[in-house]
């Protein structure tokens, strides 16, 4: 049996995306509390996500949405990472308020943001180990949040499109 790389590329990239999800899940988290939500977007759902980005472009005229919409259409999958809303109860002041009870609900807990960042780093490190191309994109995350891909009560969405091609579609933008 002979397997041509072109015939198995998509399956390999999707498997890389799945491993990235595992890396995000196992990344260290504040107080050991897991508030992350993660998913893998593949197939027609990538187009749905890209279409939502074009809606954002139409509403805002911000070229980043148009450009990144085209970028993710070239990806074989997109990893989405977000966090649930909540506080760690550390009264650390990193959010700008002295205590967690003083913090308004619309102000993110700094540790939620840190946990998302660490998960992104772990996912991207896994992608690098697997030699697939990625780029961290807040713009795609905004569209994923509007579509509520990770359910109610989640925020700070970040997306990582994943591709394997002769040249990264995420590099010369």
Task: Write down the pLDDT at residue 173.
Answer: 64
- Residue 144, Cβ neighbours under 10 Å: how many? 25
Question: What are the residues whose beta carbons fall under 8 Å from the beta carbon of 8, sequence distance 6 or more?
Answer: none
Q: Are 134 and 160 in contact (CB under 8 A)?
A: yes
> Domains of the chain (ranges plus CATH)?
5-163 (3.40.109.10)
Q: How far apart are CA 107 and CA 131, in angstroms?
A: 37
From first to last of its 173 residues, the chain has per-residue pLDDT tens of 999 988 899 999 999 999 999 999 999 999 898 999 999 999 999 999 999 999 999 999 999 999 999 999 999 999 999 999 888 889 999 999 999 999 998 899 999 999 999 999 999 999 999 999 999 999 999 999 999 999 999 999 999 999 999 888 888 76
Which 3-state string (H, E, C) describes the chain? CCCCHHHHHHHHHHHHHHHHHHHHHHCCCHHHCCCEEEEEEECHHHHHHHHHHHHHHHHHCCHHHHHHHHHHCCCCEEEEEEEECCCCCCCCCCCCCCCCCCCCCCCCCHHHHHHHHHHHHHHHHHHHHCCCEECCEHHHHHHHHHCCCCCCCEEEEEEEEEECCCCCCCCCC
Task: Write down the pLDDT at residue 104.
Answer: 92
């Amino acid at each position: 049996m002979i397997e041509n790389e072109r015939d198995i590329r998509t399956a390999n990239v999707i498997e890389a995306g799945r491993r990235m999800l595992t890396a995000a899940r196992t990344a260290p988290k504040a107080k050991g509390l897991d508030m992350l939500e993660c998913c893998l977007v593949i197939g027609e759902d990538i187009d749905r996500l890209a279409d939502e980005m074009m809606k954002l472009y139409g509403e805002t005229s911000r070229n980043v949405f148009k450009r990144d919409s085209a970028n993710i259409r070239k990806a074989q999958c997109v990893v989405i990472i977000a966090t649930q809303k909540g506080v760690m109860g550390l009264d650390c002041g990193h959010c700008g308020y002295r205590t967690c009870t003083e913090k308004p609900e619309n102000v993110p807990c700094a540790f939620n943001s840190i946990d998302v960042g660490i998960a992104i780093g772990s996912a991207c490190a896994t992608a690098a180990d697997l030699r697939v191309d990625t780029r961290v994109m807040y713009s795609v995350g905004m569209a994923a949040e509007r579509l509520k891909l990770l359910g109610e009560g989640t925020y700070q969405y970040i997306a990582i499109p994943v591709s394997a091609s002769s040249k990264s579609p995420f590099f010369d933008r």
